[in-house]
Amino acid sequence: MSAARRMPRGAALLAAVFAIAGCRHRASLEMTPSNFSECGGPNVVAHVKWRASDNPDDPISIYVSSVGQPPKLWYTGAHSGELDTGPWMSDGATLLLQDARGKVLARRTMTSTDCPPGAPVAGH
């Protein structure tokens, strides 16, 4: 192998570690919307999509945690999927994706923006 193509030993080891790590899929958790205007009211329905593929035979759990409240189980089942929440997602609500051992794989928190002064607010 020519000197121009030879990889330093440390770089080769690092490349091997990344190649092995690349075999494992990282968990993903998406929430749409992830931010909403409070002009539409204090709560919103969110579309949630997840994937936790380290072991597709193990079920996952998704918990919902609201500010000042303990997490509540929302879903247990397949390692990947998507569902809509009810109209209970509010500012600060956090979704926690956990594996079968209880390890948190991903988390997403809903945020909101205030209504501009004088803007109409739903339900008022």
What pLDDT is stored for residue 57 in this prediction? Answer: 79
26-110: CATH topology: Immunoglobulin-like (2.60.40)
* β-pairing verdict for 35-37 and 111-113: parallel
Peptide bond connecting 33 to the previous residue in cis, omega within 30 degrees of 0: yes
* Residue 4: pLDDT over 60: no
Domain extents for the chain? 26-110
Q: Ranked by mean pLDDT, which of 19-33, 47-61, 93-107 comes out on top?
A: 93-107
What pLDDT is stored for residue 124 in this prediction? Answer: 59
Using CA atoms in the order 52, 54, 59, 64, what is the torsion angle rounded to 10 degrees? -30
Is residue 88 classed as helix, strand or coil in its secondary structure? coil
Q: How far apart are CA 6 and CA 17, in angstroms?
A: 18
Q: Mean pLDDT in the chain?
A: 81
The model carries a pTM of 0.73
What pLDDT is stored for residue 123 in this prediction? Answer: 65
Q: Are 108 and 29 in contact (CB under 8 A)?
A: yes
